[in-house]
Structure 1
C-alpha cells in the first residue's frame, strides 16, 4: 500500500472509480444471483474492484501514525445462511486490511476514522455510524457502487497491551457461483 503519496492516491482513486462504475453497471445488468436473463457478473469480475476499494481506503490513512499493517484478507463469503443456500452458491468477494496505530497516535484512532469516513462522504458515500464504544463500526454505501466499505475502530487497551486498530473491509455484490469448493472460487482464493 502507498501511504500519503497524493499522486498515487489520485491515480488509484481514478482506477477505483472506473472499476466501481463498471462493477455497478455489471451488477445492474446481472440482477440478483441466480435470476435469469442478461449478462452475469462473476466473482472474478468483482475481486479486483473490491481489492482496489480496500486499498484506496487504506491509502487515506496518514502513514506517520501507522505502526504496522497486521493482516490483509481476500476471500469469498456466502451471502446466505447455510439453510437458505447449503452449497454456498451465492457469494461475495471480501477484502480487508487491519492497521495498528503507533502508541503515541492511538488517541487519534477515532479522529482518523472520522477523517477517513468524511473523505468518502465528500464523494457521495453514505455512512451508517455505530455508537461510540471500545469497538465502533461504520458502514459506507454509495448509489454509484455495488461494493460497500466497513470501518471498525478498536481503541487502545493499555492493560492488555493492545494497540488501537482500524479494520477496513470492502465487500462486493452477491453473485452466482458454483459454490465454495468450485474451481472458480479456489483459484480466486489462492494465497501466494
Structure 2
C-alpha cells in the first residue's frame, strides 16, 4: 500500500480544535439544527502512547495503522498532518516502508505477517501503553470545514464527550467556535487528553 496524495502532500494538513468534557450534551442536541450530518459511525481506536504526543500512531477501527504528526501551532489551533496508513494484516516489510522516518515504529520482522493484535504487541514491547477509545461519532458539514461530536468511553476515565472543528480556513474556525460557544475552552488532542500532558 502506498501513500495517497492526501497523505504525502503537506497541503493535506488541516487546522484542528478539539475539546473534551461531560457537559456537551446540549450543544450536541443543537448541532443537527444548524448543520447537515454526513457520517455516523461507531468504532474503537487504539492509541499507542508513551512517545511524543505530537507523533502519534493508532489503530483506527482496530484494523488500520495510521500516523498523524503535529507540524505546527497557530494560536489556539493545531495543524496535524497524516503521514501514512496501512490496512492490516500486512507484512512487516510493508509496515516499515509505509512509515520509513518514524522513530517510534517497532522493529517489524520484514517476513512476518502482522494482524492488529501483533502490531499492538510490538508497540507494547517498545514500552508503549495501548489505550482503547470507543467512539460514537457524528460528522457535520460546515462548508469548508467539519464539526465532529462524539460520545466516548475510555476505561478509567470520566470524560465522556468531545467536539472537534477542522478546516483549513482559520476565519471559519473562529466563527464556529463563537457560534458554538467554545471560545473560552482549551484545545486538547486525543493523545494529550489520554496522557494527561
TM-score (norm 1): 0.31
TM-score (norm 2): 0.31
Bigger helix fraction: 1
Relative contact order, higher structure (CA 8 A, sep 6+)? 2
